[in-house]
Amino acid sequence: MEIIYEDKNFLIVNKPAGLIVHSIEDSEESSVVDWLIKKYPTIKSVGDPSTGSWQGNSRPGIVHRLDKDKSGILLIAKNQEAFEYFKKLFQERKIKKVYGALVYGSIKNDKGFIDMPLGKSKKDFRKRGIKGKTRGELKEAITEYKIIKRFPDYTFIDVFPRTGRTHQIRVHLESIGHPIVCDKLYGPQKAVCPFGLRRHFLHARSLEFTDMDDARVKFEADLPEDLKNILRELRG
């Protein structure tokens, strides 16, 4: 696991694709949390069981998550004070997040704003959906995007989620007709994964926030090689 930054309060790591952040019950799959506990044994006590975000030490230090197949920047709290601080920043939407994504098709406008509440899918417990395709409560979800590069049949974009709902970026981009490339859950059933890509093309590029010393900081992670290779191939 690449450590991008570390101080007494928090870590910034570059999570590789294919690694889950924390295990679910009875799972033996390796996780970021396994690595954390081995490297920082005292982090076991960091969390908030009253909110359900930390179940029996299964999510110590974890204040936000990345999907298994998503790579990139992950912030981890090293002590309880930092956990509470960063949890509040996320809740108050004071952490600026930027993702890089490659989507199918040509997005018409150079910039866009998607304001579509999300809920649990009616048909598939793994999925989230927009109004009319969900059951139960809908929650506010807002995503902005900007075109970085257009290719024949594909568009490379920066994505700026203003809220942090489960699968938000994936659902929002699918809802406007441009699902993320190689997204097996939300993409077209017969869609082609270009040039042998083995996971969806979504990478957490940066986080920007005010730290506990009141300094404005920004951390970045370059696209990993598998995603860089796809862009190289598309450029020809």
The 10s digit of each residue's pLDDT in 8-30 is 999 999 999 999 998 766 567 88
Among candidate residues 26, 67, 69, 226, the one labeled active-site is 67
pLDDT on residue 53: 44
Structure tokens, 234: 């598309």
Angle, alpha carbons 27-55-129 (nearest 5°): 75
pLDDT, tens digit (0-9, with 9 covering 90-100), for 138-150: 999 999 999 999 9
pLDDT on residue 134: 77
Q: Is the pTM of this model over 0.85?
A: yes
DSSP state of 235: H
Which residues of the chain fall below pLDDT 50? Answer: 51-55
In order of start, what are the domains of the chain with their CATH numbers? 1-92 (3.30.2350.10), 94-236 (3.30.2350.10)
d(CA 63, CA 57): 13
The answer to whether residue 67 is catalytic is yes
How many CA atoms within 13 Å lie on the side-chain side of 89? 22
pLDDT on residue 56: 53
pLDDT on residue 52: 46
Quick one: which of 122, 99, 85 has its CA closest to 203? 99
pLDDT on residue 102: 98
d(CA 146, CA 80): 36
